[in-house]
Amino acid sequence: MLGRRKAQIGLFEAQTLPHLVPPDSFYGRMSMIYDQLFPDEDLAMMYDPGNGRPSLPPSLMNGVLLLQFHDNVSDEEAVQRLQYDLRWKVALHLPLDYVAFDASSLSVYRKRLVEHGQERYAFDRFIQVGRKAGFLADKVTLLTDTTAVRGAGAVQNTYTLLRKGMRKLLKALGYVQPNQRHGLGDRARQLVETYLDQDRKAEIDWSDAGQRRAQLNVLVADVEAALELACEQSDDPEVRQVGWLLTKILGDDVTTGEDGTTQLRRGTAEDRIVSLTDPAMRHGRKSAAHRFDGFKAAVSMDQESELILDVDDLAANAGDGKSLMPSVERVEAHAQVVVERVIGDGAYPTGDNLAACANHCDGNGQPQPIDLLGPLRQPVNPTVDKSAFQIDLEAQTCTCPGSYTVLGQTAKDRQGRRVLHFTFDRAQCEHCALFGACVRSKTTGRTVTTHAHEALLQQARARQQDKTFKAIYNRRSIVERIISVLVHHGLRQTRYVGAGKRRLQRLWTAAAVNLKRLLALARANGVDLEATFAALA
């Protein structure tokens, strides 16, 4: 049953008594609008209307979550601050003698938000307030970027992934219960005793390469036996999922050597699983020297108001540009605005993104092209890079830096789209001074293949030479500053496992930053923010 906050002010409520919390601090200004910040009735759909005891008021729980992500504290610390921190008591209109709830209530409440699809509640509400107050225009320019985020799961090596994976599979099969082990064969019983009853790292000399290889062979043989057992005895979805994870780990991490023995694969598979605790985690890189394990957080903000309009997870091993169009769609759907321009770094103006922006339509299906502005990636050797070749798409010719011209042949890319393929005569290439740097093939001359959206890439490359390009693009640095604020509030460390809870953390952290921005905008523009919140009821 929905619990509601009492409207009557108590004698010992912190904000009614003399206190030293600065009125212009985040806590003091949050206190001024708290009565209208989160109405209890907004989330009434999450509770049974006539059954059970009254819940903790959603207005209180939402306020606690907001402060928790603002201060970047754990559930235990949040509860302690409810009891002892005067700033929290003032912000949440709590009495000085308030006895806080158990920390587990926060976990239960977050789960309830996710189950009812309300993880965006605070974030979307603050965006609506920004629209209502006039801070957010009907047409916006998005500034977008990503940042590395560490995952909540334990990063594990191949040996641990296989061992823990087998334990997880045998648990899913039900063998953790002794009464489920009747009738097991000797091989199955050995697996259960080794990976369920003991679950210990093998007692070998891990500095000895030979012993490590032998242990890997044992693990692989046991995994194959466990997978065979799973195929024979269960078609449960959880069993299939764990079985798929184990199969993928074998495929990504293990190979067979020339002598027929099992070996660790050299290099790292592109989509390698790094944790069974959170299988969605991946290896990622923001630079050659900066590797991380987890996710990327893709952040999009409005250039004028500096309000964050979207934040979501992106796979750590995915290109930043893949987040662009999903982010635009979410911004337009939830903020009810039209995106007219996007400014991003060199990862965003890909041919596919340029085409998607050029063909973009609004919610009514009407053409609404988006101006995607960003520098194309700089080549390692500009002299012989594809961009140094003069490609005439109409005449279907290509002229190289050495002034040789060839006619192109029509071909198709991996997606089946039409492209042009140019092949230069090797004899001509060999007479060119750039031959050593330009031609890599040992049999043919230089080859050049156009992109399916080559015309758009040519336009974007030419635009970079315009004097106004740099002036517009320099505004992108604002999003880097906003991301640093999000990182200060805990964005870079994932707290939870599971897509819904991860999304909740990102959105509520962004909501806390947006509320600070709303308070600043209201003060600068003389807007009554409490009345604006009340008008949304």
Q: pLDDT, tens digit, for every residue of 454-485?
A: 999 999 999 998 889 999 999 999 999 999 99
What pLDDT shows up at residue 10? 63
What pLDDT shows up at residue 51? 83
What pLDDT shows up at residue 97? 83
What pLDDT shows up at residue 535? 87
Hey, what's the torsion of the CAs at 446, 447, 453, 454, to 10 degrees?
A: 30
For 31, the token pair is 């206190």
- Residue 252 contacts residue 267 (beta carbons within 8 Å): no
What pLDDT shows up at residue 424? 95
What pLDDT shows up at residue 434? 92
What pLDDT shows up at residue 366? 86
Looking at residue 286, its amino acid is: K
- Residue 520 contacts residue 133 (beta carbons within 8 Å): no
Q: Quick one: which of 52, 69, 54, 46 has its CA closest to 5?
A: 54
What pLDDT shows up at residue 127? 97
- Residue 159 contacts residue 279 (beta carbons within 8 Å): no
| Residues of the chain under the 70 pLDDT cut | 7-12, 14-17, 233
For 175, the token pair is 């063998």
* CA separation for the pair 491, 487 (Å, rounded): 5
What pLDDT shows up at residue 53? 85
* CA separation for the pair 537, 522 (Å, rounded): 19
Q: What are phi and psi of 179, to 5 degrees?
A: -70, -10
- Residue 311 contacts residue 147 (beta carbons within 8 Å): no
Alpha-carbon distances, residue 307 vs 66, 149, 516, 520 (angstroms): 16, 21, 10, 11
Looking at residue 192, its amino acid is: V
Q: Quick one: which of 67, 59, 43, 65 has its CA closest to 7?
A: 59
Measured on CA atoms in the order 474, 475, 478, 479, is the torsion positive or negative?
A: negative
* CA separation for the pair 421, 413 (Å, rounded): 10
What pLDDT shows up at residue 12? 61
What pLDDT shows up at residue 422? 96
Q: pLDDT, tens digit, for every residue of 76-118?
A: 999 999 999 999 999 999 988 888 899 999 999 999 999 999 9
Question: What is the b/e burial string over 129-161, where b = at least 16 CB atoms within 10 angstroms of the residue's CB?
Answer: bbbbbebbeeebbbbbbbbbbbbbbebbebbeb
